[in-house]
Structure 1
């Protein structure tokens, strides 16, 4: 499908998403960075799923954030290992395994099926 996008990812500074600060899942707590960059969702065309597109999108999102001066990038994925019945629609935040395989680490679990994961740029 030359020239037709097969997926996209949303990435921007946390402060650009006012809903994140209000959400019980993503609100800032403790010593969280005040304004990290956030990868909030992915969309991959059905016929291109399970081909590494989301991984490439996440890599691109992190590279873009770093090029804009980010030192911390967060994701708010779901964990299908905890609840295998998660539908495709519920996985638009990405999965814990996707973020883990891309160098993110879990910093907290605000619910059984959700994680706050963080990538920190090397100094």
Structure 2
């Protein structure tokens, strides 16, 4: 197995990130290939998410990455990106602003995981989560929360991260509202 390296997303790694989302990230899930992880940032008040095109999403994330408004960690193997976790201060994930606790100072959020099909089930998401938590703590944040689905029926359903992963990594269920698809799990950093 190749050695996996984890690096924070930065403007210097923008080309790697774009290549991953252009060609690898959703190779087995073409319905989502237009997302570019912009879903958590898109202004859906002025334009419904269903009307955003892949090219619009791609163009929109570039300045977010360059200005450090879109944050996360990239997993590499053999010099190529094989996985991504969208993670940063809660204020940087506008789609999560209404989630319980997201507006608290010092709270970070984990958004999406996108691991290349070939690399799933090999601990890449766990390594990304651990690295993201370390990075968020280094930024002075004190709590991280995430929003796994209560139930998943496919790998794509687990794009917010599987609940078992969070529980294994010391998170606990913090908010569980009956009838909601997403739970809120939390952990101190």
> How far does residue 14 in structure 1 lie from its aligned partner after superposition?
0.8
Alignment of 1:95-106 (within 5 A): 95-106=162-173
The equivalent of 1:10 in structure 2 is: 86
Q: Which protein is bigger by CA-based radius of gyration?
A: 2
The unaligned stretches of length 5 or more in structure 2 are 1-76
The equivalent of 1:39 in structure 2 is: 110
Correspondent of 2:154 among 63, 87, 90: 87
Provide the TM-score with structure 1 as the length reference.
0.81
**Higher normalized helix content (fraction of residues):** 2
Correspondent of 2:135 among 53, 60, 64: 64
RMSD (Å), alpha carbons:
1.8
> How far does residue 17 in structure 1 lie from its aligned partner after superposition?
1.4
**Cα distance in 2 between the residues matched to 1:56 and 1:76:** 18
The equivalent of 2:149 in structure 1 is: 78
Secondary structure of the 1:90 match is helix
Secondary structure of the 1:5 match is strand
- What is the number of residues matched between the two proteins? 111
**Higher normalized strand content (fraction of residues):** 1
The unaligned stretches of length 5 or more in structure 1 are none
Q: Which has the higher contact order (CA 8 A, sep 6+)?
A: 1
> How far does residue 113 in structure 1 lie from its aligned partner after superposition?
4.0
**Cα distance in 1 between the residues matched to 2:120 and 2:180:** 25
**Cα distance in 1 between the residues matched to 2:133 and 2:165:** 13
**Cα distance in 2 between the residues matched to 1:116 and 1:37:** 12
Contact 2:90-2:103 at 8 Å conserved across structures: no
**Cα distance in 2 between the residues matched to 1:67 and 1:16:** 17
Secondary structure of the 1:51 match is coil
Provide the TM-score with structure 2 as the length reference.
0.54
> How far does residue 79 in structure 1 lie from its aligned partner after superposition?
3.1
Contact 2:97-2:103 at 8 Å conserved across structures: no
